[in-house]
Structure formats: structure tokens, C-alpha cells
């Protein structure tokens, strides 16, 4: 069993913000793979499905980004899952828009959702699907940037990337992370 966590903020007026790309990715994955309807559980919304023969619990914490770990810890504890069975889908400032990278463990790099997960799980040893949103250029502009909505022009890369992540999800579910990244890159190579 796997726990896939989309990181974001719960307010409806925040739905299109760059910080919510993790929620967006999980929504597309759940729809594409016929997950159950979302229901409230573990201080979040949960949907279940099967991808690549693996049972996947999708979780969107409704606790706000800064305390996402509370929801993740509750779900992981209930299902008795080790950190290595958890994958967080999150926005990544250090990748250009549309780039997708997967890694296990590492630092939070200033991301409050990851920082909360590290603290609540007691380890950073979970998987991360880093969804590139680009950097606004200066540290002072980061908060406004991540809490800002995607621009209309961003749809040209955002929708294809979310679709590619969903289409490639079986590779991720079966632990073939390099193949997952390669397939996402191939599916989005003509996207600007």
C-alpha cells in the first residue's frame, strides 16, 4: 500500500495558486485512475484506487500547508506505513516550470509542507515528486509568488505536465522512478 500526498492549501480561493500544484496533480491522478470519491478523513480528503497493481491512498491535507504533516502522520499511522511508502507531490521553486523530478529524502529547501512532514514523521526519508513552478527571481518575492495564481499563459505547460504525471503514474507506483521521469519528460517535450 502506498500513500500519495498532494500538498496545498484548502480554501477554494487558493485552488489555482502555484503552491497548490500538489493538490492539482493528485486530482488528475485520481480522476485518470478511477479512484473512489474524495471523503473527509485524517484531517484531509482521502480517495483510494489502484495504480500499476498497487493500492494507492490519495491524501490532500486540509490543515493548511504549514501543518500538512499532521494529516500525513495520522494517515501513515493508521495504515502503519513506513516513510518509504509515502510520496509527496509538491511545488518546487528550484525547477523551471514544467520540469518534474523525483527523489527520496533530502532537505525541505524552505518548503513549509515538507518541513511539517519531516517534523511529524520524524524523518525526511519519503519520496517527493517535485513539480517545477520556477522562481520569481528574488527571495523577497517568493511568498507572493507561490501564493499567487497560475497565470493564464501557464496553462500551456501546466495541463500537459499534470496529464503526463497521471499517465505515467504506474511507473511511479511500481518504484520505477527513473522511467517515470523519462516518460513525463517525453510526454511534455514539445510543451513551452
Question: Could you read off the pLDDT of 102-149 as tens digits, one per residue?
Answer: 999 999 888 999 999 999 999 999 999 999 999 999 999 999 999 999
Give me the pLDDT at residue 9, please. Answer: 96
At the second CATH level, the architecture of 2-187 is 3-Layer(aba) Sandwich (3.40)
Domain boundaries, the chain: 2-187
Sign of CA pseudo-dihedral 49, 51, 53, 56: negative
Question: Global pTM?
Answer: 0.97
| Portion of the chain with pLDDT greater than 90, in percent | 95
HEC assignment per residue over the chain: CEEEEECCCCCHHHCCEHHHHHHHHHHHHHHHCCCCCCEEECCEEEEEEEECCEEEEEEEECCCHHHHHHHHHHHHHHHCCCHHHEEEEEEECCCCCCCEEEEECCCCCCCHHHHHHHHHHCCCCCEEEEEECCCCCCHHHHHHHHCCECCHHHHHHHHHHHHHHHHCHHHHHCCCHHHHHHHHHHHCCCCC
Give me the pLDDT at residue 109, please. Answer: 85
Residue 28 has φ and ψ, to the nearest 5°, of: -70, -40
The reply to whether 19 belongs to the active site is yes
State the pLDDT confidence band at 192, using cuts at 50, 70 and 90: low
Q: Copy the grid coordinates of residue 3.
A: 500513500
State the pLDDT confidence band at 171, using cuts at 50, 70 and 90: very high
Catalytic residue among 19, 33, 90, 111: 19
State the pLDDT confidence band at 89, using cuts at 50, 70 and 90: very high
State the pLDDT confidence band at 191, using cuts at 50, 70 and 90: confident
d(CA 106, CA 58): 22
d(CA 25, CA 100): 11
Closest CA to 184 of 89, 112, 120: 89
Whether 96 and 23 have beta carbons less than 8 Å apart is answered as no
Amino acid at each position: 500500500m502506498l500513500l500519495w500526498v498532494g500538498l496545498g492549501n484548502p480554501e477554494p480561493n487558493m485552488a489555482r495558486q502555484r503552491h497548490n500544484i500538489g493538490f492539482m496533480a493528485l486530482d488528475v491522478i485520481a480522476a485518470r485512475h478511477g479512484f473512489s470519491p474524495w471523503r473527509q478523513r485524517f484531517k484531509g480528503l482521502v480517495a483510494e484506487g489502484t495504480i500499476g497493481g498497487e493500492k494507492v491512498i490519495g491524501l490532500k491535507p486540509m490543515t493548511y500547508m504549514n501543518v500538512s504533516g499532521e494529516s500525513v502522520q495520522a494517515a501513515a499511522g493508521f495504515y502503519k506505513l513506513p516513510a518509504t511508502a509515502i510520496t509527496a507531490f509538491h511545488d518546487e521553486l528550484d525547477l523551471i516550470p514544467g520540469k518534474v523530478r523525483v527523489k527520496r529524502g533530502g532537505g525541505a529547501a524552505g518548503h513549509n509542507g515538507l518541513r511539517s512532514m519531516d517534523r511529524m514523521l520524524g524523518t525526511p526519508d519519503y519520496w517527493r515528486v517535485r513539480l517545477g513552478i520556477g522562481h520569481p527571481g528574488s527571495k523577497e518575492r517568493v511568498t507572493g509568488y507561490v501564493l499567487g495564481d497560475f497565470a493564464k499563459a501557464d496553462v500551456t505547460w501546466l495541463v500537459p505536465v499534470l496529464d503526463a504525471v497521471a499517465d505515467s503514474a504506474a511507473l511511479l507506483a511500481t518504484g520505477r522512478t527513473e522511467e517515470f521521469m523519462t516518460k513525463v519528460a517525453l510526454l511534455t517535450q514539445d510543451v513551452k
